[in-house]
Amino acid sequence: MSDDSGDRERGASADPAEGSRTAIIAAFFANLGIALAKFVGFFFTGAASMLAEAVHSVADTSNQGLLLLGERKARRRPTPEHPFGFGTERYFWAFVVALVIFTLGSLFALFEGEEKLRNPHELDSAGWAVAILLLAIVFESLSLRTAVRESRHVKGDESWWAFIRRAKVPELPVVLMEDTGALVGLAFALFGVSLAELTGNARFDAAGSIAIGVLLGVIAMILVVEMKSLLIGEAASPEVTTNIARAIESAPHVRGLIHMRTQHLGPDELLVAAKLEFAPDLTMPELAQAIDDVEAAMRAAVPAARVIYLEPDIAHARATGTAAG
């Protein structure tokens, strides 16, 4: 049995980490500029959907800051109190981000929309709102393009929905969902403002705000569910598990893999525990070397497998109930 977590090299996981950071920074600056522009638009128009979108962008900007905070905290070295490190910080802060979207974005937009439905306010200078919304769509599209480009390096052949559901890197799904939601929300706001101006009925603007609130609520719930699953602890993907099993079974002196458990300690750090059957004629030094060879084969196949516990066992003994737990 061994635990070798001293090798902290990122290996093949460096690109996903760098890609996540690039996508977060692009989204941060895009949302910051868009939020300022939307507040200017609200000042001149008084549009409820414009204010809802402005608060949405402020929440998104804060979210990027929290994701960057989580990424920085996750790089801390293990301590006696946290011997497996702080990789799950990234999952925790992504979970907080999902709650921020819901509380600051969805609830405010719903409240503002309901208020303007009961007390309609005629729009002033709707041209300002339309121009700013169109500008925001351009910036959000650029941010989404960056997130899509960086996600492709990790997504592989999966569909986008499958990637959001199964990705172990929390930041990219969060940014993708945020940017997509922002673009759809901008379309709702543009539609509501345009109809309110064309018909003279300000309730269309309020309806746009309510639609934005519902949209953000749906996105928040999806992200809460997915980030909660990561925070609790998810196993490696079937593809990664298969690669680890093949590496184990191809190592010298291994007669078979009895069973194996995996869990992500972070997006790019995997805990692997397994029972193996080795050749019965090995001496103690030979068995120790065989275990080292298995670990080396596992890390060569899956660099993220950094914390490894291996236990020699006898397969047929387990079948007769005489094996130790």
Are 184 and 308 in a shared domain? no
Report yes or no on 4 lying in a domain.
no
Calpha distance 323→225 (Å, rounded): 39
Instruction: Report, as ranges of residue numbers, the positions in the chain whose pLDDT lies below 70.
Output: 1-19, 49, 121, 123-124, 316-325
Instruction: Report the amino acid identity of residue 276.
Output: L
pLDDT 10s digits, 34-53: 888 888 877 777 777 677 77
Q: Which pLDDT value is given to residue 10?
A: 35
Q: Which pLDDT value is given to residue 287?
A: 94
Number of domains in the chain: 2
Are 276 and 262 in a shared domain? yes
CA 239 and chain centroid, separation: 19
Q: Which pLDDT value is given to residue 25?
A: 85
Report yes or no on 135 lying in a domain.
yes
Q: Which pLDDT value is given to residue 118?
A: 82
Are 255 and 295 in a shared domain? yes
Report yes or no on 6 lying in a domain.
no
CA 8 and chain centroid, separation: 22
Q: Which pLDDT value is given to residue 262?
A: 96
Calpha distance 260→102 (Å, rounded): 38
Report yes or no on 3 lying in a domain.
no
Report yes or no on 65 lying in a domain.
yes
Report yes or no on 270 lying in a domain.
yes
Residue 278 host element (H or E): strand 269-278
Q: Are 71 and 136 in contact (CB under 8 A)?
A: no
Q: Which pLDDT value is given to residue 323?
A: 41
Are 19 and 147 in a shared domain? yes
Q: Which pLDDT value is given to residue 124?
A: 65
Report yes or no on 325 lying in a domain.
no
Are 186 and 270 in a shared domain? no
Are 206 and 265 in a shared domain? no
Are 124 and 262 in a shared domain? no
Q: Which pLDDT value is given to residue 255?
A: 92
Are 215 and 270 in a shared domain? no
Calpha distance 268→163 (Å, rounded): 16
pLDDT 10s digits, 146-171: 888 888 888 878 888 888 888 888 88
Calpha distance 214→52 (Å, rounded): 12
Last residue of a domain, one of 197, 232, 267: 232
Nearest of 248, 275, 30 to residue 137 by alpha carbon: 30
pTM: 0.76
Q: Is 300 helix (H, G, I), strand (E, B) or coil?
A: helix
Are 171 and 204 in a shared domain? yes
Report yes or no on 85 lying in a domain.
yes
Q: Which pLDDT value is given to residue 8?
A: 33
Last residue of a domain, one of 232, 254, 280: 232
Domain containing residue 262: CATH number: 3.30.70.1350
Are 98 and 220 in a shared domain? yes
Are 66 and 18 in a shared domain? yes
Last residue of a domain, one of 232, 261, 282: 232
Are 67 and 170 in a shared domain? yes
Residue 271 domain boundaries: 238-319
List Cα–Cα distances, 55 to 31, 39, 104, 225, in angstroms. Answer: 10, 8, 7, 23
Q: Which pLDDT value is given to residue 17?
A: 62
Cβ neighbourhood burial of 231 (10 Å; 0-12, 13-18, 19+): middle
Q: Which pLDDT value is given to residue 274?
A: 96
Domain containing residue 41: CATH number: 1.20.1510.10
